Amino acid sequence: MILKDRVAIVTGAGSGIGRAGALIMAREGAHVIVADIDLANAEETVRQIATAGGNGEALAVDVTDDKALEAGMTAIALRHGRIDILHNHAGSQVAGNLEDVAIAGFDTSWSLNVRAHFMASRFVMPIMKKAGKGVILNTSSSSGVLYDREMIAYTTSKHAVIAMTKQMAGDYARFGIRVNALCPGWVDTPFNAPFISQMGGRSAIEGYIAEKVPLGRWADVSEIAEPILFLVSDRSSYMTGQILVVDGGETVV
């Protein structure tokens, strides 16, 4: 098991890609803190981890609440004596162009997709520096490297995550801490509901994917979990400040 005895925190791990990442880390020996705003969803992920023979615990937290997030991180460090991996995954998709998007939606997108990643990383960094090692993985998106129609709040935040990742990686490599970003493309989860609605329904989005994605299909969450495992494990030990795009080839066309 390539993550044996490591302590990992995954935000937004109550469903979708976050859950898949938490499950694969636990499968490889990590003790996974499943952080999610929805306690029931977090507990379901923990139940699935336990059923598969792994170890995990639920942490109900709103990652945009600085005090709650810091308290949660501090408690984890005190309880386990270490935090080896932080996967900042919790995010939000807000549709709309410059004129149409709700300002509150833009602010929510920035707060959840960028600022929460920044704050969680800030809280774990002293712990990782003291240990002389650690891994931070930030979830961006294929929308962080290309134009995404009428999604200004989302694309702006996801481009920012990439810039922040590179900056953090450069600043903290000398402490033995690696920071990379994952850019998933179309993954079949409820997260895409805003874009599906904007596109005109499920059949419309299926047609869009068939046309725009060279592989011609959605990804399954399991196909994103494996890249997550690569990025948080020693398999990527000489990799930092990099952006791994997993999008079925959409960004090459």
Q: Which residues are the active-site residues?
A: 154
Q: What are phi and psi of 60, to 5 degrees?
A: -85, 115
Beta-bridged to residue 246, according to DSSP, are 184
The alpha-carbon radius of gyration of the chain (Å, integer) is 17
